[in-house]
Amino acid sequence: MNIREIASVIRTKNAGPYWFSADIMFDNTELYQAVKESQAFSRERVARLYNVDLENISEVIYHDEGRIIKVNIKRPFVSGSPGDSDVLGMQQHAPLLDIDIRFHKLHK
């Protein structure tokens, strides 16, 4: 199943001049837990999706109460500097849209 089919929001946003944050949000606790258990979001996978070294990816954070998966990604250019094409970091979510999730099980 593709993440686009089950997440209610997939977005990126500014996390300071050197990083942007990727958030994947869920309306459904069961789906959130199943995605969390699938381990589809690892630092290694995010690094591959964004074609960056692992050191440029923060820890993947699971916020159970909010049903949010979060990871920070180091910007290739400092926000607002020459070469930066997205000062606010809001147009960086496209690589996340291709994540396929293989569920081990769905909770009941």
Q: Residue 57 carries which DSSP code?
A: B
Taking phi first (over 0 means left), then psi (-120 to 50 degrees means alpha), and beta for anything else, what does residue 104 get? alpha
pTM for the model stands at 0.86
String of DSSP letters for 6-51: H-SEEEEEE-SSSEEEEEEE-S-HHHHHHHHHHT---HHHHHHHHT
Q: Residue 100 carries which DSSP code?
A: B
Tokens for 63? 């916020």
pLDDT per residue, tens digit, the chain (108 aa), is 899 999 999 999 999 999 999 999 999 999 999 999 998 889 999 999 999 999 999 999 999 999 999 999 999 899 989 988 888 888 889 999 989 888 765 544
